[in-house]
Structure 1
């Protein structure tokens, strides 16, 4: 495996592939990329002689929209067991090797030794290496740490900031925010995002506490906040929470995010199993997304909340669970792609230029082999990963 050396990339690239899912199956198998966007889709596309075009022949591969991971601890998570348990940063190569073209960076429990400024620096570093990277301002705690001293200003003035997160509820590690505090923060994000022309989602970490999704149910029932601004994640950490999430999604027309746990434990469900359950419960697939939580910590606590151990999450499980959904025919390929591409783009407010292979969209393309394994990843037309 190797990352592409794309420093001498020409202005235009022509990809010739075997099949194309946009995410729906398309007859076109040629993708012309110009200035980072898809300029044309077709068959046997021709470019005038002498034009600066790089040809990529990949007739044995299938083109799909590059995946989007909305929950990545790009600076590393952890710390619940002291400084020695801090998780490492993720690299651009580790992201792109999984066919992921876009990530959203997040802080978690530790917003003391890590800060929004650290997160922004890492996001900009990933962008420089070819990954499309964004971030949430804030962290577990309330009031949330910010870049400018104000959530609304972060959203309005920092292009990379697309929302607030991951704000923790129903968890012994959270700040135990009151209902009025949650409502105030979400409303501030909404107004700041409106002024910036962004979706401005609030990405909520949901723990295994008894309150579950009740704070979000109250938020949507008792205020005018629209459901598409509130995204609960980790809702597959145990069966009761997943059942509640299914009802929440149906009742409010809300989206819910599953975590691709490497080891869900005795009480949790894998993202694969959780998708199957949600579909059986009548949750529209358009309301389901999956994220990795990679490079975050997977701490273990005893019955009294004492730390007993930790593992580091990886993004390999995200792709493995997604592949299994297709292989075991829970969803056809074109529908499964929505869970890690199109649906995620819509949730984040990026659907005008990401999550599809269409003319005018960002040229974020992942090439899969017959086993659905990523072999090449392009972001804005730049090859950021290739397995030769």
Structure 2
């Protein structure tokens, strides 16, 4: 089961997926997906293809087709460095991304924007694209003023297609530049205008540390300026209980979105993504305003009360899928809504909702085939199969 029997003709230009069912993310009656030129050309049942057409037919009747997952926070060039050059995390590969059912990633720089720079990040993003992954990036890093590609934040957004926002800008963290409120407001405004010139959403992706100020800088930003809430995305809001409680209040007060990190090893204060999403939902935050991301290949450093480095682990993206699966298995959310946490909600946040996050005609053919246990078995990006698990279900 799940082997995906493939029948090929010479140089196929079309792909036909025949699956057990389709969640688009809502359930649809179709069981066939026709792919042409990297996009979904048709949905239906028992679609007939004229004899002689150059087509690849993939039989996966025991699998469920869902929108391929989107991870908006990935250290694609590796993070780390808090303990010196010997503590840099490795890069991530296209295979590691696709194996988790993920088709789209957004690359970030973190603490280290010296040995790893925006040009390095752009090169890695373009490398992932060459391997088939739909990859984007944030310009900037933890520090202020943010490092850029062109020397100007607005130019990065306006002229570099892969740049979709600013991030991860650090607040409430001893590793941040301790930006003043007026600096935060100026950077968000610059990002907004540069993105407008390019027709992008231009979000500001904020790393939130465990400092006592929490989300206060973002609350002031939205309360005291004209910046809309959908311009600002705080991440790592599940570092500890007080921050998560503040995140729930923030999301409700400003009708804002918050991003939960899927920690692969939960520490003494960290809250798992499963528990965090459950908490937010219980406190009235709509599922549509919650997203999940992995922070994979970033560092998970440990510091003492004085900020002295003690050690670190490297984050992986396996917890993202594991926590998401648990939300469905334990009935916290139905599959349709749960898919939004790593699909449609993320596409909307990033401004990609007109071609990603749904299985519908005209959208990118980014499709993950999952089994009854919700495990990714095949991943297609723009119609190309990048991952195929042929082991029995």
Specify the TM-score bucket, using the shorter chain as the normaliser.
over 0.9
Q: Compute the displacement of 1:370 (Å).
A: 1.1
Structure 2 residue 45 is the aligned partner of structure 1 residue 39: no
Match of 1:143 in 2: 145
Conserved in 2, the CA contact under 8 Å of 1:80 and 1:307?
A: yes
For residues 152-200 of structure 1, the C-alpha deviation after alignment (integer angstroms, 9 at most, x for no partner) is 0000000000000000000000000000000000000000000000000
Partner of 2:234: 232
Partners of 1:343 and 1:71 in 2: CA distance: 14
Say which of 203, 213, 216 aligns to 1:214.
216
Tell me if the contact between 1:290 and 1:339 (Cα under 8 Å) persists in the aligned partners: yes
Uncovered stretches (5+) of structure 2, i.e. residues with no partner: none
The aligned runs of 1:10-49 (5 Å cut-off) are 10-49=12-51
Tell me the distance in 1 between the aligned counterparts of 2:11 and 2:288.
36
| Correspondence for 2:306 | 304
Q: Give the equivalent residue in structure 2 for 1:81.
A: 83
Q: Residue 262 of structure 1: CA displacement?
A: 1.1
C-alpha RMSD over aligned residues: 1.4
Q: Distance in 2 between matches of 1:10 and 1:221?
A: 55
Which residue number corresponds to residue 111 of structure 1? 113
Aligned equivalents of 1:336, 1:288: Cα separation in 2: 10
1:164 and 2:166 matched: yes
Tell me, what secondary structure is at the counterpart of 1:323? helix
Which of 200, 203, 206 aligns to 1:201? It is 203
SS in 1 for 2:300: strand
1:341-370 deviation digits (Å, cap 9, x = unpaired): 000000000000000000000000000011
**C-alpha distance in structure 2 between counterparts of 1:150 and 1:50, whole Å:** 53
Aligned counterpart for 1:190 among listed residues 189, 192, 195: 192
2:27 and 2:42 mapped to 1: Cα distance? Answer: 16
* TM-superposition CA deviations, 1:42-95 (whole Å, max 9, x none): 000011111111000000000000000000000000000000100000000000
- Which segment drifts farther, 62-71 or 45-54? 45-54
SS state of the match for residue 236, structure 1? coil
- 1:264 equivalent to 2:266? Answer yes
State how far apart, in whole Å, the 1-side matches of 2:281 and 2:87 are. Answer: 37
Contact 2:24 2:66 in 1 (8 A): yes
In structure 2, C-alpha distance between the alignment counterparts of 1:175 and 1:238, rounded to whole Å: 22
**Aligned-pair CA distance for 1:265:** 1.0
Segments of 4+ moved more than 6 angstroms: none
CA deviation string 1:320-341 (max 9, x = no partner) = 0000000101011111000000
Give me the whole-angstrom Cα distance separating, in 2, the residues matched to 1:274 and 1:10.
Answer: 45
Residues 316, 380 of structure 1: alpha-carbon distance in 2 compared, 3 angstrom cutoff: same
Q: CA deviation at 1:19?
A: 0.9
- 1:378 Cα offset (Å): 0.2
Deviation at 1:10, TM superposition (A): 2.4
2-side partners of 1:260 and 1:9: how far apart?
40
Confirm or deny: 8 A CA contact 1:237 1:264 kept in the other structure. Answer: no
1:266 shift after superposition: 1.4
Other-structure match for 2:345: 343
After superposition, residues 284-295 of structure 1 pair within 5 angstroms as 284-295=286-297
- Conserved 8 A contact 1:249-1:283: yes
Contact 1:9/1:382 (8 A) holds in 2: no
| Equivalent residues of 2:11, 2:54 under 8 A apart | no
Q: Which of residues 243, 246, 255 is equivalent to 2:245?
A: 243
Give the C-alpha shift of residue 9 in structure 1: 6.2
Gaps (5+ residues) in structure 1? none
Q: How many residues align?
A: 385
Structure 2 equivalent of residue 175 of structure 1: 177
TM-score normalised over the length of structure 2 = 0.97
Q: Do structure 1's residue 281 and structure 2's residue 258 form an aligned pair? A: no
Structure-1 separation of matches of 2:238 and 2:376: 26
The CA distance in 2 between the partners of 1:18 and 1:49, in whole Å, is 24
SS of 2:56's equivalent in the other structure is strand
Residue of structure 1 equivalent to 2:60? 58
SS in structure 2 opposite 1:210?
A: coil
Q: Do the aligned partners of 1:16 and 1:59 also contact (CA within 8 Å) in 2?
A: yes
